[in-house]
Amino acid sequence: MNTKSWNILDKFLSMYRLSAVSRHIKEGDVVLDLGCGVQHYLLRSKKDKFKQGYGLDYDIENAQKDNITLLNYKFQGRFPLEDNFFNKIFLLAVLEHIEEKNVQQLFAEFFRVLKKNGRVIITTPTPRGKPVLEFLAFKLKVVTPEEVTDHKHYYCPKEIHDLAKRNGLKVVKGKFFQLGLNSLYVIEKQ
């Protein structure tokens, strides 16, 4: 999604998500931030902690700086990345933007590129969050409407658990935050 036009509330929500997930990065990790956006906040804020960070997004240009590699990329069924390479993969408010027909293959790719015991950390709005996001975007206009319009699906816990299980992964933590409007999942390659 085009994060270039974010407003102040979009930025606040992004920083809130970042604070909820950044503790999952361990010293020496190789991390992937899928849908990192032009800001690539996660990678920039934690670059001193991880060994190597990769950001994939269709709104960015290819770039290399220090230990961060940015690649212009839109998910088409296979990541342009090596097998068993990453310790952590982050999808922060991204899953809901991916076409449902591609989500099964996305989870299969997580399995392929994760090292054993590697983890995927996902934040995504819940079905309960949909009317609130739409109200904030279309009535109050305090959230960027294009972001909300681009949502393809709002995932419930059972759907996430099923996707993980079908692809050799296991949800090791799932919780709601922001009054149940958002969810966080930690999924591990067994």
Residues 93-142 have pLDDT tens digits of 999 999 999 999 999 999 999 999 999 999 999 999 999 999 999 999 88
User: CA 58, CA 146: separation in Å to the nearest integer?
Assistant: 15
Domain 3-170 sits in CATH at 3.40.50.150
pLDDT in tens, 3-50: 555 567 667 777 777 777 888 999 999 999 999 999 898 999 999 999
User: CA 87, CA 74: separation in Å to the nearest integer?
Assistant: 21
Question: pTM for this one?
Answer: 0.92
* Beta-sheet pairing, 63-65 with 68-72: antiparallel
